[in-house]
Amino acid sequence: MRTSSGKVRKSLIVVCTALIFVAGLVSAENSGEQKLKSERAVPVQNVIAALRGKMSFIEIVDKERTEDWTWIEAKCAQGDVYPLTLNVLVAKKVKPQKVIYMLTSSSLNFNSSFFSPRDSSLAKYLASRGYVVVGITPREDNVPLDADDSVMAAWGMESHVNDIRDVVSLIEDKLRLAYDMLGHSLGAACAMDYAAKYDGLLDRIILLDIPSFDPVAQPEKILYATVANSAYDQLLSQGVYADYAVNTFKGLLLAASVYPDMDSGLCRASVGLPGNFTVNGLLHFSMIYTAWLPGTITELTGLPQEWPMILSYTAGSYDFALDPLQDQFGLFQSDVNTILGASLELGSGAVPLAALKDYTSMIAGLDSYDIDVTQINEEVLWINGEVGMGNQVYAAELMREAGNQDVTVEVVPGYGTLDLLFGVNAASDVWNIICEN
């Protein structure tokens, strides 16, 4: 069910106009005479001059302007409809060559996933290489925790992709620049869905850590997906509309930063040892052995919540001792303080169960929400972490069989799902792959 209305679309037009204005302004500043060198961009300035007065309809919630960067964050003035959040980031000293739309996983937002930490983020890395960075954060990020979350009942992947298309089409019409689309996790699923339905000036999709199961080689995963989706149907029928587990993770990060050795209250019996995890031990165990942990569907299915995953949010090691205070653990790629900082940027942390159900269907090729990946003709760069979603990339094979020979798969050794975003060496190990291809 579409959430857009005429009023919402008008708001999107105004918000996108503001984003285009920033991109155009930065391009103009690259010229010493405040004129655009690119003939394609001159009409953009004319459009902005005509529409600048309408910017009063935009709620600019944050911005930063330095000698090197211009960044704004805006929300649509949508009345009683929860807004999308749009971010634009442009490097002033680099002439924009292309737009990249960055689609976050549903529980996260642009700031927490792509723009954290600010000075060494994936978004800044891409902007410094000639991209006009546009981040699209889903509506659920702006639903207050104390609000009636039944509004999210129909916020499945179709709703998310429709919102993305509304934004992209408006900017595409004005800038007329080719664009790439990068998505992480659920955002990657939305990028695939989008590319199967639209083309236009879309040049490439970049998929970060999303699985796709082979029905012959992985029949158990298809079964798990079917069972999981039955659970989502049951939960939705019971009035459970969203998963908020990331907020528990955020609380654990905060607690571990202040009281690392405090008793977590969770026993270690599951690993055959006495005593309870310390708070810091539980945090690291949950990041390293994510694929073992229970969640929203576990009681109904017996499955871990992250059953599609190979193992980890963040790669690491955990060596147990008889005394929980003597447990030894650590992360291989990411700094836990970086992840803590990113968590402080979270909004609601909500993931609509409708979106989780569609995502589960898509990665398993179930009929309840399947996309025709054979319609994806654009370049595809698929990057998974070895201990994140690993080499589960069946859809890449389907695209190639359908004639798309521009499909590249990279499985990054020793990386988990979040390491692709926050790894200390992610720029050289992961992000450079995006700009080299």
Confidence at residue 78, expressed as pLDDT on a 0 to 100 scale: 52
- How many helices and strands (H and E) does the chain possess? 16, 15
- pLDDT at position 76: 67
When comparing pLDDT for 280 and 437, which is higher? 280
For residue range 286-302, list pLDDT tens digits in order: 999 999 999 999 999 99
What is the pLDDT averaged over residues 222-240? 99
Contact criterion met (CB below 8 Å) for 147 and 69: no
Distance from C-alpha of 120 to C-alpha of 115, rounded to nearest angstrom:
8
Q: Strand 59-65 vs strand 69-75: parallel, antiparallel, or unpaired?
A: antiparallel
pLDDT number for residue 229: 98
For residue 16, pLDDT beyond 70:
no
H/E segment holding residue 302:
none
Q: How many CB atoms lie within 10 A of CB 162?
A: 15
Q: Is the pLDDT of residue 234 over 90?
A: yes
* pLDDT-above-90 percentage for the chain: 73
- State pLDDT tens for residues 27-74: 444 443 333 333 333 222 322 232 233 333 457 788 888 999 889 888
**Cβ(417)–Cβ(309) below 8 Å:** yes
pTM over 0.85: yes
Q: Is the pLDDT of residue 80 over 70?
A: no
- Is the model more confident about 203 or about 68? 203
Q: List C-alpha distances in Å: 266 to 35, 273, 282, 297.
A: 62, 12, 8, 20
Q: Which tops the pLDDT comparison, 22 or 347?
A: 347
Q: What is the mean pLDDT of the chain?
A: 88
For residue 138, whether the previous peptide bond is cis, meaning omega lies within 30 degrees of 0, is: no
Q: What are the strands, taking DSSP E only, across 338-399? A: 351-352, 379-385
Which domains, from first to last, does the chain contain?
6-216+371-436 (3.40.50.1820), 226-343 (no CATH)
Structural tokens at position 11: 């708001």
H-type alpha helices, 176-218: 186-197
Alpha-carbon distance 9 to 14, whole Å?
9
Phi then psi dihedrals of residue 22, to 5 deg: -60, -45
Query: pLDDT per residue over 95-112, tens digit each?
Result: 888 999 999 987 999 999
Written as one letter, the residue type at 341 is: G
258-317 pLDDT, tens digit each: 999 999 999 999 999 999 999 999 999 999 999 999 999 999 999 999 999 999 999 999
Sequence-distant (≥ 6) Cβ neighbours of residue 328 within 8 angstroms: 317, 318, 319, 321
- Rounded mean pLDDT of 154-175? 89
Q: Which amino acid type is present at position 185?
A: S
Mean pLDDT of the region 386-397:
99
